[in-house]
């Protein structure tokens, strides 16, 4: 049987798709939520701060159908509650973007126990809990020709050795990259792809102090001579969520201007 090729616009069109972007109230999550909305998807964003959720929902509603749900996703019960709310009406979810993340910088000598628990709970366990809770909805949405998509936001901190003393952060992201491959193998036959994006430096609250201090130097030493922009992150997310990205699974895609890929 010959499968009809998509037209140029169909290749990246997300009309009718339902997506969840965790940590979508600012930074990289908002870049991704905006990109998915502009491609036609209905998007739910989630973060802890209820005021920030309301504000982001208002800001993003200019681009399409968006709903913000406050939740603390470092807790498994909150991941389950969010999954129930997101799937209550249709029972399906086409795209899950596990973006919410935390970083902790502190010298080796004083690096505390809490810096492991806080970071690993959110960066590694939470994507797992959300996949677990949303599996029935992802299975319902995915087909052999158009699988459901899980996109985990990792980091180049797990590809090269980061300059900052963020031991639990880089370790949690390396584990998330591996979890991506493990889940990709298991869920591929169930019509669900699992890929990771490993961003380089993008402007955000998490990166604000680093970029204030070292932004110019980081840009100058990057092969592409700049830090990341909104379109760079929106572009890779739309690609992975759309028909264009249907045949990738188990990949970790660095979006870093060549910083880690050429190190
Ligand atoms: N920016 C970069 O250069 C860069 C580079 C590599 C990787 N990344 C990764 O990209 C992702 C986004 O980072 P970012 O730089 O955009 O960070 P950010 O500006 O700090 O945004 C983090 C988002 O996650 C939410 N969040 C934090 N803790 C949460 C929790 N317990 N439950 C639910 N939501 C929570 C935040 O909202 P609340 O605080 O209201 O909960 C916010 O919406 C992270 O996974 C990060 O590791 C970023």
Digit-coded pLDDT (tens) for 74-94: 999 999 999 999 999 999 999
Provide the whole-model pTM: 0.98
Measured in Å, residue 102 CA sits from the centre of ligand 1 at 6
Q: What is the pLDDT of residues 199-226, one digit of tens each?
A: 999 999 999 999 999 999 999 999 999 9
Q: Please give the Cα distance from 146 to 202 (Å, whole number).
A: 30
What band does 96 get if pLDDT is binned at 50, 70 and 90? very high
Selection from 37, 57, 38, 36 nearest residue 46 by Cα: 57
Average pLDDT over residues 139-158: 98
Q: How far is the CA of 104 from the centre of ligand 1 (A)?
A: 12
What are the helix and strand counts (H, E) for the chain?
A: 9, 7
**Integer Rg of the chain from CA:** 18
Residue appearing with tokens 């190190």: 263
Whether 169 is catalytic is yes
pLDDT at 1: 55
- The kind and range of the H/E element at 150 are strand 148-153
Ligand 1 atom nearest to CA at 27: 16
pLDDT class for 192, splitting at 50, 70, 90?
very high
Show the ligand 1 pocket: residues with CB < 6 angstroms: 22-23, 25-29, 47-49, 52, 72-74, 99-102, 122, 153, 155, 199, 201-202, 204-207
SS3 at position 148: strand
Mean pLDDT over 123-135 rounds to 99
Of 9-13, 57-61, 198-202, minimum mean pLDDT range: 9-13
pLDDT at 3 over 80: no
Q: What is the pLDDT of residue 7?
A: 87
């Amino acid at each position: 049987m010959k499968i009809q090729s998509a037209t140029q616009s169909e290749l990246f069109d997300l009309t009718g798709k339902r997506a969840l972007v965790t940590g979508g109230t600012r930074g990289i999550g908002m870049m991704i939520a905006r990109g998915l909305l502009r491609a036609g998807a209905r998007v739910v964003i989630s973060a802890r701060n209820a005021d920030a959720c309301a504000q982001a929902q208002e800001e993003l509603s200019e681009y399409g159908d968006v709903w913000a749900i406050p939740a603390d996703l470092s807790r498994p019960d909150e991941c389950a509650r969010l999954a129930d709310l997101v799937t209550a009406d249709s029972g399906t979810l086409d795209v899950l973007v596990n973006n919410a993340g935390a970083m902790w910088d502190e010298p080796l000598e004083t690096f505390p126990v809490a810096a492991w628990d806080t970071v690993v709970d959110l960066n590694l366990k939470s994507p797992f809990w959300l996949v677990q809770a949303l599996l029935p909805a992802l299975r319902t949405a995915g087909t052999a020709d158009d699988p459901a998509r899980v996109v985990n936001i990792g980091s180049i901190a797990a590809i090269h050795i980061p300059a900052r003393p963020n031991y639990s952060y880089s370790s949690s992201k390396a584990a998330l990259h591996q979890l991506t491959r493990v889940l990709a193998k298991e869920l591929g036959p169930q019509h669900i792809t699992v890929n990771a994006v490993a961003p380089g430096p993008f402007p955000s609250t998490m990166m604000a102090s680093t970029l204030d201090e070292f932004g110019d130097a980081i840009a100058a030493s990057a092969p592409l001579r700049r830090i990341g922009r909104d379109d760079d992150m929106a572009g890779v997310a739309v690609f992975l969520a759309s028909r264009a990205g249907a045949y990738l699974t188990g990949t970790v895609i660095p979006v870093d201007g060549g910083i880690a890929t050429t190190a």
